[in-house]
Amino acid sequence: MSKVPLAVVVITKNEEANIDMCLGSVYGWADEIIVVDDESRDRTVELSKKYTNKIFHRKMDNEGKHRNWAYAQAKNEWVLSLDADEYVSDQLKEEIAKTLANTKFHAFSIPLRNYIGTYWVQHSGWYPAGKLRLFMRSRFKYEEVEVHPRVFLEGDTGHLTKDIVHKGYPDFEHFLGSLNRQTTLEARKWIQTGRKMSLGRAIWRTIDRFPRSFIGKKGYKDGFVGFMIAFFASLYQIMSYAKYWEMKNLHQDNIKH
């Protein structure tokens, strides 16, 4: 069976616990596997060598720019973008192979099956929650910002039905750690782009996010996990504002002194 004519691009940093799962799911299926490593200090690079010789070393400056650089290393026009804590289901591999053989679209969204520990989160807005992960690299670009970069696409988007499996949160501790990192980047993004955020607006968004997730997006169907997701969604807003306030005031104090 011939390989699918696409490049799987994976960005890594200290991912020795996940990289075998990720790259193993596409090894022998994808024509090209590319790993762009951000100064890992564990066995990520060593383990990646079992699956590809296309391993690049680049320190991440911001997410959007880093991802754009990574995709530019591909020789194939079609790119499948994976995170190191994700893997491609067998059903999705079959669907992609059939789709790329004859398509009018220039990109595709793919459902993400997200887990916290062993629990598959099927509500709370987490599933199917399609993400644009398969695209023609000449028509695709990320906004070059640190967190939540927007997608710019020249062309039409189709939608696949099979899943990328995301095993990103082994437990709530890791979930909270990710929340802490993301809110720091969010606050920094507001500062860098000159965005104005008031306390009143931050409080409103904090209050609003819980019912939106738990009730509006039916998080209650995920039980306690859904409650925690809604709580963290709410916490994200006020944590981002607290860090934004601190960064802004610290910057002003530095100017005065």
Tell me: the pLDDT tens digits for 56-92? 999 998 899 999 999 999 999 999 999 999 999 999 9
The answer, yes or no, to whether residue 1 has pLDDT greater than 70, is no
Here the tokens at position 59 are: 């320190």
Arithmetic mean of pLDDT over the chain? 94
Residue at which a domain ends, from 125, 151, 169: 169
- Tokens 């709370």 map to which residue? 124
152 and 219 co-located in one domain: no
pTM of the predicted model as reported, rounded to 2 decimal places: 0.89
What is the average per-residue pLDDT within 36-55?
98
The per-residue pLDDT for 199 is 94
Q: Omega of the bond prior to 5 within 30 degrees of 0, cis?
A: no
178 and 164 co-located in one domain: no
CATH number at residue 135: 3.90.550.10
Residue at which a domain ends, from 113, 142, 169: 169
C-alpha 255, offset from chain centre: 36
Contact 121, 222 (CB under 8 A): yes
Distance CA 185, CA 244 (A): 10
Residue type, 61: D
101 and 180 co-located in one domain: no
Q: Of the candidates 97, 169, 87, 157, which has an alpha carbon nearest to the alpha carbon of residue 126?
A: 169
The answer, yes or no, to whether residue 254 has pLDDT greater than 70, is no
Distance CA 88, CA 110 (A): 10
Distance CA 22, CA 46 (A): 14
Contact 128, 112 (CB under 8 A): yes
22 and 124 co-located in one domain: yes
Where does the pLDDT of residue 147 fall: very low under 50, low under 70, confident under 90, or very high at 90 and above?
confident
Tally of domains within the chain: 2
What residues pair up with 30 in beta bridges, in sequence order? 4
The per-residue pLDDT for 145 is 81
Residue at which a domain ends, from 150, 169, 188: 169
The answer, yes or no, to whether residue 20 has pLDDT greater than 70, is yes
146 and 115 co-located in one domain: yes
The per-residue pLDDT for 251 is 64
Q: Of the candidates 247, 109, 140, 230, which has an alpha carbon nearest to the alpha carbon of residue 186?
A: 247
221-230, pLDDT tens digit by residue? 999 999 999 9
191-244, pLDDT tens digit by residue? 988 888 999 999 999 999 999 999 999 999 999 999 999 999 999 999 999 999
39 and 95 co-located in one domain: yes
C-alpha 162, offset from chain centre: 18
49 and 72 co-located in one domain: yes
Tell which phi-psi region holds residue 166, choosing left (phi > 0), alpha (psi between -120 and 50) or beta.
beta
DSSP category for residue 26: T
Per the structure, the complete domain to which residue 93 belongs is given by 4-169
The per-residue pLDDT for 235 is 97
13 and 101 co-located in one domain: yes
47 and 103 co-located in one domain: yes
The per-residue pLDDT for 200 is 96
> Dihedral sign, CA of 163, 168, 169, 170?
positive
163 and 204 co-located in one domain: no
142 and 224 co-located in one domain: no
194 and 87 co-located in one domain: no
- Tokens 């095993």 map to which residue? 167
